[in-house]
Amino acid sequence: MKRLFIVCFSLFLTGKTFAQSSALITPTAKQEVVKRLQELLIGNYIYLDTAKQMSKYIGERLQSGAYNKITGSQEFSQALTTDLHHVYHDGHMSIIYNPRETSAPADSTKPAPPPARLDDSFTNYGVKKAEVLYGNIGYLQLNLFVEATDPAKATVKAAFGFLQHTNALILDLRDNGGGDPEMVQYICSYLFPPKTHLNDLYERRTNQTDSFYTYVVDSSEHFQHIPVYVLTSQRTYSGAEECSYDLQTRKRALIIGENTGGGAHPVEPFQLGNGFVGRIPFARAINPVTGKNWEGTGVRPDIATTPDDALQTAVLHFFDAQLKSNPAPALQHKLQWARELAAASSKSPVVNTATLQQYVGAYGDRQVKLENGTLYFSNAAGKFLRLAPLTDHVFRLVGYDYIRLEFSTDAKTITMSYDDGFTNLLKRKS
């Protein structure tokens, strides 16, 4: 089976207007497009019975005059998509009007050329961010699974290489609409032992099945032994859902966030003639563990929360799990410190100005000042650094998460605490 792309075209392309969207369509063109679409559905759509129902329905709609009042090509494409979804709402299925994707004369039995797109390097091959969060948690944001070319793999390899000494991995797929299953395979190869059976893609029209297994990649041995979290949202779709489902069904990761979109059918563009392209799903995913897939249901999270809270939820879950494992006292102190910092990150308390004002003054060789409702603390070089409240009397030093300042109730001392347990007492001079 040739290279497949599992992308949520309907989410990104349906309703998209092209310069040609105002083009008129004739009754004859409507008939030609519907006839070709019927043929392609029967010949290619993954479920033959559903294909027959779709074909029959749009034929009846054409004969009944349901499309007679439609004069615009773009409107006609949207009407066809709506009617196909009326029979079965396959999120990958869509009809678009875009003469740029077609050539004349069109051969409706062959796939259309792939849509023009920017070089994948323009999006850094889908790698949006690689970061080490406080507490040595790796964070990798992937917004697209691009074609698994050598440059794309090299970029992903560099991201994993950067994170190879972290204690956990958070894979952020909240804005990932899918992509190439071979890139999903490559990324999962970092997280599973080699030769792990990930997924099958069955194609009805050829009665063939493509199987995807992990293989040896650099640094994979480290990532195979650390906790993995996957962040999801309703925007997580298709190939990103496969990645989530592959990891969840083998209990390799916790899925945190929203239920995903629910699209498990690879899609291929076909020319319909007259400037129209039909994006027709032609295969279905079969998970080797469940024998099923996520079509229509999505991937259900292990821990349900809003997309905005998913990252913090994953971080707190990791720290809680580590604290329950009875770590050595020094490590326990660091973990508790990091957990408290993470817990406070999204809901920093508001401290009234009167309370803040009483902390202003000189403490040893350090100064505390108040500007525009914010406290600042001078370092040894005399540079003022911003303080952010954790409580009404405990503050973190912004940019230095391993340091906290705790003011006494009478504001006569500051206890500087460090994440390794060291403390330093500063007495007020003025």
Can you tell me the distance from the alpha carbon of 122 to that of 411, in angstroms, rounded to the nearest whole number?
Answer: 53
Per-residue confidence (pLDDT) for residue 313, from 0 to 100: 97
Burial of 365 (0-12, 13-18, 19+ CB in 10 A): exposed
Q: Which of 28, 32, 82, 87 is nearest to 56 (CA)?
A: 87
313 and 246, same structural domain?
yes
85 and 194, same structural domain?
no
Task: Tell me which residues of the chain have a pLDDT lower than 50.
Answer: 1-3, 5-6, 8-21, 103-109, 116
387 and 307, same structural domain?
no
Per-residue confidence (pLDDT) for residue 187, from 0 to 100: 98
212 and 285, same structural domain?
yes
Q: Which of 169, 338, 151 is nearest to 243 (CA)?
A: 169
128 and 256, same structural domain?
yes
Burial of 92 (0-12, 13-18, 19+ CB in 10 A): buried
The answer to whether residue 47 is domain-embedded is yes
Write the DSSP symbol of residue 419: T
Final residue in a domain of this structure, among 66, 101, 136: 101
291 and 154, same structural domain?
yes
Instruction: Give me the half-sphere count of Cα atoms (radius 13 Å) on the Cβ side of residue 129.
Output: 14
Contact call for residues 42 and 59 (beta carbons, < 8 A): no
Helices (H), ranges, 8-149: 9-13, 27-44, 48-64, 73-87
What is the rounded average pLDDT for all residues in the chain?
Answer: 91
124 and 262, same structural domain?
yes
Per-residue confidence (pLDDT) for residue 10, from 0 to 100: 42
- What is the total count of domains within the chain? 3
Can you tell me the distance from the alpha carbon of 144 to that of 152, in angstroms, rounded to the nearest whole number?
Answer: 11
364 and 244, same structural domain?
no
The answer to whether residue 323 is domain-embedded is no
**Is the overall model pTM greater than 0.75, yes or no?**
yes
Per-residue confidence (pLDDT) for residue 22, from 0 to 100: 60
Contact call for residues 375 and 167 (beta carbons, < 8 A): no
The answer to whether residue 210 is domain-embedded is yes
The answer to whether residue 33 is domain-embedded is yes
Cα first-last separation, the chain: 78
199 and 167, same structural domain?
yes
Contact call for residues 130 and 140 (beta carbons, < 8 A): yes
Show the tokens assigned to 238.
């298709």
Instruction: Give me the half-sphere count of Cα atoms (radius 13 Å) on the Cβ side of residue 419.
Output: 18
92 and 135, same structural domain?
no
Can you tell me the distance from the alpha carbon of 111 to that of 328, in angstroms, rounded to the nearest whole number?
Answer: 61
128 and 96, same structural domain?
no
Show the tokens assigned to 404.
């906290």
Q: What is the DSSP string of 230-252?
A: EEE-TT--THHHHHHHHHHHTT-
Write the CATH number for 130: 3.90.226.10
The answer to whether residue 274 is domain-embedded is no
The answer to whether residue 336 is domain-embedded is no
The answer to whether residue 110 is domain-embedded is no
363 and 224, same structural domain?
no
Q: Which of 285, 194, 202 is nearest to 244 (CA)?
A: 285
State which amino acid sits at residue 335. Answer: L
Per-residue confidence (pLDDT) for residue 101, from 0 to 100: 66
Can you tell me the distance from the alpha carbon of 192 to that of 51, in angstroms, rounded to the nearest whole number?
Answer: 37
The answer to whether residue 367 is domain-embedded is yes
Tell me which residue range forms the domain holding 176. 120-266+281-318
